[in-house]
Amino acid sequence: MPTFVYMTRCDGCGQCVDICPSDIMHIDKTLRRAYNLEPNMCWECYSCVKACPHHAIDVRGYADFAPLGSSVRVHRDEEKGTIAWRIKFRNGKKDMELLAPITTKPWGSCIPKLANESAPDDSMRNSHLLFNEPKYIQLDKDGKDSLHTLESNGLEIKEGVYY
């Protein structure tokens, strides 16, 4: 179900207009408040719901993760680096909360300084790997800090469907 806006909560700040990947959150021409211009093109990504500083945008949850008619609301707290969800069933008998980290380091503190890296040599240019990929995803490192792979975990891909 597409997003909708509680007009009395919206202050027309433009955060949802800015973030919508489908470019369907726009500003109403009469009230200068946000609204979903093209509900059938909304894929319920929740970007605008999370970006709205006033919790003025809501989405009716899909039946595949919560029963129809339940309330699914979210609060993304940038300063704490967490996201909190609350799913409340229509009859009020189930009221569930979830809190999860969305960052473990202050925002913007871990941006790779690519300009300081040396230019790739020919072997890197001809490789199927991306620039500096082994270094950043730590494929070349052994031990607990290296990236987990099937191989490092003693697993292998099997053919077919199995359980």
Partner 1 sequence: MFANNPFDALSALISTDVMQMYIIVMAILVAGGTILDMMHKKSAQYFFENAEKAKANAKRTVSTGEKISLAVSTVASEVITSSEFCNTKRRISHLLTMYGFILFVASTALMIFGNKAEILPQLWHIGAIMLCVGGYWFWFFIRVDVNSEGAKWYKLVRADIFIVSLFTTATFALIWSYLQSKGGVVGDMGSTTLFFALFIVSNTTLFASVLWSKFAHMFFKPAAAFQKKTTVADGSRENLPGDFDLASAEVQAKFPDIPEYMGKNPEYMGHGIRREPPNHY
Which residues participate in catalysis according to the annotation? 43
Structural Rg of the chain based on CA atoms? 22
Return the bridge partners of 71, or none.
88
C-alpha–C-alpha distance, residues 63 and 84, integer Å = 20
Structure tokens at 86: 């609350």
Structure tokens at 149: 């792979």
CB of residue 44 to partner 1, shortest distance in Å: 17
Our CB check for partner 1 shows the closer of 44 and 88 to be 88
Stretch of residues binding partner 1 (CB under 8 A), selected from 28-36, 59-67, 110-118, 121-129:
28-36
CB 3 within 8 A of CB 49: yes
Our CB check for partner 1 shows the closer of 22 and 82 to be 82
Our CB check for partner 1 shows the closer of 54 and 135 to be 54
DSSP string for residues in 5-40: E-TTT-----HHHHH-TTS-EEE-TTT--EEES-GG
- Using CB under 8 A as the binding rule, the residues of this chain from 92 to 131 that contact partner 1 are 92, 97-101, 103-109
Which of residues 82, 120, 132, 134 is near partner 1 by CB under 8 A?
Answer: 82
Return the bridge partners of 98, or none.
85
Q: Which residues bind partner 1 (CB under 8 A)?
A: 8-9, 11-15, 17-19, 26-32, 51, 53-55, 71, 73-75, 78-82, 84-86, 88, 92, 97-101, 103-109
